[in-house]
Amino acid sequence: MKKLVVIPILAVCIILSGCSFLEETNDSINYVSEATDYINDLSSFVEESTSLEGEELANRVQTLQTTIEDFIRVEAPGFAEDIHQELKNKSETLLTATNELLNNGEVAIEQLQDSHVYQTIENITELMNQIENLGH
């Protein structure tokens, strides 16, 4: 009789630990995907911004700010905490640089190129290989 009780309990424990593993794997995949999308958005900004002027450029910088703020709020799974902290720190630097641009009034492409925005984005995109390796 005791065996009949132990077997279902063991089965439930195995299933729950398997679910935990699947959840961790899913979190890993989601984080890598979010981080990759974020870096791709930053790269797209660099490409697109060179052809924009005035209000269009200011709007694009504001959209970039929202993207940055959203990523900063992402919670990384345990295995990615170090790389996420590095991304978060660089993203906060990028957010500060974009705030300075917008606070100075009209945004011109020359201001953008002279600011730390492009350099910081380049620093962030250099982390892409590390992020891609998280998924493996």
Residue 54 φ/ψ region, left for φ over 0, alpha for ψ in the -120 to 50 degree band, beta for the rest: left
Cα angle, residue 27 at apex, residues 24 and 30 outer, rounded to 5°: 150
Nearest to 100 by CA among 69, 65, 75: 65
Q: What is the pTM of this model?
A: 0.74
Asked if residues 101 and 15 have their Cβ atoms less than 8 Å apart, the reply is: no
SS3 16: helix
Residues 6+ apart with CB under 8 A from 103: none
- Which letter does DSSP use for residue 105 in this model? S
Residues 6+ apart with CB under 8 A from 17: none
pLDDT of residue 100: 86
pLDDT beneath 70: ranges in the chain: 1-28, 108, 134-136
pLDDT of residue 14: 47
* Residue range 90-104, pLDDT digits in tens: 999 999 999 888 887
